[in-house]
Protein backbone atom coordinates (compact mmCIF):
# COMPACT_ATOMS: atom_id res chain seq x y z
CA UNK A 1 0.00 0.00 0.00
CA UNK A 2 2.85 2.38 0.87
CA UNK A 3 4.60 1.75 -2.45
CA UNK A 4 1.34 2.16 -4.37
CA UNK A 5 0.66 5.48 -2.67
CA UNK A 6 4.26 6.57 -3.25
CA UNK A 7 4.06 5.71 -6.95
CA UNK A 8 0.78 7.59 -7.36
CA UNK A 9 2.07 10.70 -5.57
CA UNK A 10 5.37 10.72 -7.48
CA UNK A 11 3.68 10.21 -10.85
CA UNK A 12 1.11 12.95 -10.25
CA UNK A 13 3.75 15.38 -8.96
CA UNK A 14 6.18 14.80 -11.83
CA UNK A 15 3.51 14.99 -14.53
CA UNK A 16 1.97 18.09 -12.95
CA UNK A 17 5.41 19.73 -12.84
CA UNK A 18 5.92 18.93 -16.51
CA UNK A 19 2.51 20.32 -17.45
CA UNK A 20 3.19 23.49 -15.47
CA UNK A 21 6.59 23.88 -17.15
CA UNK A 22 4.92 23.56 -20.55
CA UNK A 23 2.13 26.00 -19.57
CA UNK A 24 -0.62 23.40 -19.97
CA UNK A 25 -3.58 22.69 -17.70
CA UNK A 26 -3.51 19.48 -15.68
CA UNK A 27 -6.95 18.04 -16.46
CA UNK A 28 -8.95 15.92 -13.95
CA UNK A 29 -9.25 13.00 -16.40
CA UNK A 30 -5.50 13.03 -16.93
CA UNK A 31 -4.92 13.20 -13.17
CA UNK A 32 -7.01 10.08 -12.64
CA UNK A 33 -5.05 8.14 -15.26
CA UNK A 34 -1.70 9.27 -13.87
CA UNK A 35 -2.66 8.37 -10.30
CA UNK A 36 -3.85 4.92 -11.38
CA UNK A 37 -0.76 4.13 -13.47
CA UNK A 38 1.58 5.54 -10.81
CA UNK A 39 -0.10 3.43 -8.13
CA UNK A 40 0.21 0.37 -10.38
CA UNK A 41 3.95 1.02 -10.84
CA UNK A 42 4.38 1.34 -7.09
CA UNK A 43 2.40 -1.84 -6.39
CA UNK A 44 4.48 -3.82 -8.88
CA UNK A 45 7.73 -2.59 -7.32
CA UNK A 46 6.31 -3.26 -3.85
CA UNK A 47 5.33 -6.81 -4.78
CA UNK A 48 8.82 -7.48 -6.13
CA UNK A 49 10.34 -6.04 -2.95
CA UNK A 50 8.06 -8.16 -0.76
CA UNK A 51 8.98 -11.30 -2.69
CA UNK A 52 12.71 -10.50 -2.48
CA UNK A 53 12.55 -9.78 1.24
CA UNK A 54 10.67 -13.03 1.90
CA UNK A 55 13.63 -15.04 0.59
CA UNK A 56 16.18 -15.18 3.39
CA UNK A 57 19.18 -15.92 1.21
CA UNK A 58 21.10 -12.67 1.55
CA UNK A 59 22.21 -10.90 4.74
CA UNK A 60 19.90 -8.13 6.04
CA UNK A 61 22.31 -5.43 4.85
CA UNK A 62 22.07 -6.73 1.28
CA UNK A 63 18.29 -6.53 1.47
CA UNK A 64 18.45 -3.00 2.86
CA UNK A 65 21.17 -1.46 0.69
CA UNK A 66 20.92 -3.47 -2.54
CA UNK A 67 17.49 -5.03 -2.95
CA UNK A 68 15.53 -2.02 -1.73
CA UNK A 69 17.28 0.49 -4.08
CA UNK A 70 16.80 -1.97 -6.96
CA UNK A 71 13.07 -2.01 -6.23
CA UNK A 72 13.07 1.80 -6.19
CA UNK A 73 14.89 1.62 -9.55
CA UNK A 74 12.15 -0.66 -10.89
CA UNK A 75 9.46 1.78 -9.78
CA UNK A 76 11.48 4.66 -11.25
CA UNK A 77 11.76 2.81 -14.57
CA UNK A 78 8.00 2.29 -14.71
CA UNK A 79 7.39 5.95 -13.82
CA UNK A 80 9.93 6.98 -16.48
CA UNK A 81 8.01 4.90 -19.02
CA UNK A 82 4.80 6.65 -17.96
CA UNK A 83 6.38 10.11 -18.17
CA UNK A 84 7.91 9.39 -21.60
CA UNK A 85 4.37 9.56 -22.98
CA UNK A 86 4.10 13.21 -21.94
CA UNK A 87 7.55 14.34 -23.17
CA UNK A 88 7.77 14.61 -26.98
CA UNK A 89 10.50 12.47 -28.55
CA UNK A 90 11.93 11.21 -25.26
CA UNK A 91 11.08 7.63 -26.18
CA UNK A 92 10.07 4.67 -24.02
CA UNK A 93 13.56 3.20 -23.66
CA UNK A 94 15.11 6.52 -22.67
CA UNK A 95 12.31 7.09 -20.20
CA UNK A 96 12.90 3.62 -18.72
CA UNK A 97 16.65 4.24 -18.47
CA UNK A 98 16.31 7.67 -16.88
CA UNK A 99 13.64 6.48 -14.49
CA UNK A 100 15.68 3.44 -13.44
CA UNK A 101 18.82 5.49 -12.77
CA UNK A 102 16.85 8.18 -10.98
CA UNK A 103 14.90 5.63 -8.97
CA UNK A 104 18.03 3.74 -7.90
CA UNK A 105 20.00 6.83 -6.91
CA UNK A 106 16.94 8.43 -5.36
CA UNK A 107 16.24 5.22 -3.44
CA UNK A 108 19.69 5.39 -1.87
CA UNK A 109 19.01 9.02 -0.96
CA UNK A 110 15.68 7.97 0.53
CA UNK A 111 17.43 5.42 2.78
CA UNK A 112 20.09 7.93 3.84
CA UNK A 113 17.49 10.53 4.78
CA UNK A 114 15.52 7.98 6.80
CA UNK A 115 18.67 6.90 8.66
CA UNK A 116 19.76 10.45 9.44
CA UNK A 117 16.56 11.33 11.27
CA UNK A 118 15.56 9.71 14.60
CA UNK A 119 12.77 7.09 14.78
CA UNK A 120 10.40 9.68 16.24
CA UNK A 121 10.64 11.62 12.98
CA UNK A 122 10.23 8.70 10.57
CA UNK A 123 7.09 10.22 9.05
CA UNK A 124 9.06 13.37 8.24
CA UNK A 125 11.96 11.22 7.01
CA UNK A 126 9.69 9.38 4.58
CA UNK A 127 8.32 12.66 3.23
CA UNK A 128 11.83 14.09 2.79
CA UNK A 129 13.01 10.84 1.22
CA UNK A 130 10.06 10.86 -1.15
CA UNK A 131 10.94 14.41 -2.20
CA UNK A 132 14.55 13.34 -2.79
CA UNK A 133 13.39 10.42 -4.92
CA UNK A 134 11.15 12.64 -7.05
CA UNK A 135 13.85 15.26 -7.58
CA UNK A 136 16.43 12.69 -8.67
CA UNK A 137 14.03 11.00 -11.11
CA UNK A 138 13.12 14.39 -12.61
CA UNK A 139 16.81 15.35 -12.89
CA UNK A 140 17.65 12.03 -14.57
CA UNK A 141 14.88 12.52 -17.13
CA UNK A 142 16.15 16.03 -17.93
CA UNK A 143 19.73 14.81 -18.32
CA UNK A 144 18.76 11.94 -20.65
CA UNK A 145 16.52 14.26 -22.67
CA UNK A 146 19.41 16.69 -23.22
CA UNK A 147 21.98 13.97 -23.93
CA UNK A 148 19.99 12.63 -26.90
CA UNK A 149 18.85 16.02 -28.18
CA UNK A 150 19.68 16.69 -31.86
CA UNK A 151 17.27 19.54 -32.43
CA UNK A 152 14.89 21.45 -30.20
CA UNK A 153 12.12 24.01 -30.24
CA UNK A 154 12.42 26.90 -27.79
CA UNK A 155 9.08 28.45 -26.87
CA UNK A 156 9.49 31.95 -25.45
CA UNK A 157 6.45 32.72 -23.30
CA UNK A 158 7.75 36.00 -21.89
CA UNK A 159 11.14 37.64 -21.21
CA UNK A 160 13.30 35.14 -19.30
CA UNK A 161 10.54 32.50 -19.51
CA UNK A 162 11.06 29.71 -22.04
CA UNK A 163 10.43 26.00 -22.50
CA UNK A 164 12.41 23.62 -24.72
CA UNK A 165 10.92 20.66 -26.58
CA UNK A 166 12.96 17.91 -28.21
CA UNK A 167 12.27 17.67 -31.93
CA UNK A 168 12.09 14.30 -33.64
CA UNK A 169 9.87 12.03 -35.69
CA UNK A 170 7.01 12.64 -33.24
CA UNK A 171 5.45 15.95 -34.23
CA UNK A 172 5.41 18.71 -31.62
CA UNK A 173 1.92 20.16 -32.03
CA UNK A 174 0.84 23.77 -31.58
CA UNK A 175 -2.74 24.83 -30.95
CA UNK A 176 -5.46 25.65 -28.49
CA UNK A 177 -6.36 22.07 -27.53
CA UNK A 178 -4.42 19.29 -25.83
CA UNK A 179 -1.32 20.25 -27.81
CA UNK A 180 2.30 20.20 -26.70
CA UNK A 181 2.47 23.99 -27.09
CA UNK A 182 -0.77 25.63 -26.00
CA UNK A 183 -1.62 28.78 -27.95
CA UNK A 184 -4.80 30.44 -26.75
CA UNK A 185 -7.27 31.34 -29.49
CA UNK A 186 -6.05 28.78 -32.03
CA UNK A 187 -7.88 25.57 -33.00
CA UNK A 188 -6.50 22.24 -31.76
CA UNK A 189 -3.48 20.94 -33.72
CA UNK A 190 -3.23 24.18 -35.69
CA UNK A 191 0.29 23.28 -36.81
CA UNK A 192 3.21 21.05 -35.93
CA UNK A 193 6.99 20.92 -36.14
CA UNK A 194 8.72 17.68 -37.04
CA UNK A 195 12.38 16.65 -37.41
CA UNK A 196 12.98 13.59 -39.62
CA UNK A 197 15.85 12.47 -41.85
CA UNK A 198 17.86 15.54 -40.85
CA UNK A 199 15.15 17.97 -42.01
CA UNK A 200 13.10 20.23 -39.71
CA UNK A 201 9.71 21.32 -41.07
CA UNK A 202 6.81 23.49 -39.93
CA UNK A 203 3.57 21.85 -41.08
CA UNK A 204 0.26 23.72 -41.33
CA UNK A 205 -2.54 21.27 -40.53
CA UNK A 206 -5.28 22.97 -42.56
CA UNK A 207 -3.35 23.15 -45.83
CA UNK A 208 -0.60 20.57 -45.36
CA UNK A 209 1.93 23.20 -46.38
CA UNK A 210 5.47 22.42 -45.22
CA UNK A 211 8.08 25.08 -44.51
CA UNK A 212 11.71 23.98 -44.04
CA UNK A 213 13.42 25.34 -40.92
CA UNK A 214 17.02 25.46 -39.77
CA UNK A 215 19.09 26.41 -36.74
CA UNK A 216 18.12 29.93 -35.71
CA UNK A 217 14.80 29.99 -37.59
CA UNK A 218 12.16 32.06 -35.79
CA UNK A 219 8.38 31.82 -35.88
CA UNK A 220 5.68 33.94 -34.30
CA UNK A 221 2.49 32.04 -33.44
CA UNK A 222 -0.12 34.12 -31.67
CA UNK A 223 1.75 35.93 -28.90
CA UNK A 224 4.50 33.32 -28.72
CA UNK A 225 7.96 33.45 -30.25
CA UNK A 226 9.48 30.14 -31.35
CA UNK A 227 13.17 29.52 -32.04
CA UNK A 228 14.69 26.44 -33.66
CA UNK A 229 17.97 25.06 -32.31
CA UNK A 230 19.86 22.37 -34.20
CA UNK A 231 23.39 21.03 -34.55
CA UNK A 232 25.22 22.80 -37.35
- DSSP string covering 73-112: HHHHHHHHHHHHTTSTT--HHHHHHHHHHHHHHHHHHHHH
Nearest Cα to Cα of residue 92 among 155, 14, 148, 18: 148
Q: Tell me the CA distances in angstroms from 163 to 34, 158, 199, one per residue in order.
A: 22, 10, 22
Fold held by 151-230: Tumour Suppressor Smad4 (2.60.200)
Domain boundaries, the chain: 2-147, 151-230
Distance CA 39, CA 4 (A): 4
Q: What is the pTM for the complete model shown?
A: 0.73
Distance CA 209, CA 207 (A): 5
Q: Tell me the CA distances in angstroms from 81 to 74, 94, 149, one per residue in order.
A: 11, 8, 18
The answer to whether residues 222 and 210 touch, using CB atoms and an 8 Å cutoff, is no
What does the pLDDT read at residue 203? 96
What does the pLDDT read at residue 25? 66
Q: What is the CB neighbour count within 10 angstroms for residue 172?
A: 22
pLDDT along the chain (232 residues), means of 10: 78 79 68 81 80 68 76 85 81 86 81 75 72 79 82 90 89 90 90 93 94 94 91 72
The answer to whether residues 98 and 144 touch, using CB atoms and an 8 Å cutoff, is yes
The answer to whether residues 78 and 41 touch, using CB atoms and an 8 Å cutoff, is yes
Amino acid sequence: LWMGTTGAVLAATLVAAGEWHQRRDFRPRQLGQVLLLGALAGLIAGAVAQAAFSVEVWPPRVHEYVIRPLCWALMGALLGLLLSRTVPNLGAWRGLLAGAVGGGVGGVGFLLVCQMLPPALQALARMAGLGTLGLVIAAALLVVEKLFREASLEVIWAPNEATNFNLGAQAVTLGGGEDHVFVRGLPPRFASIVFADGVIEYVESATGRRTPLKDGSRLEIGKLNLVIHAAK
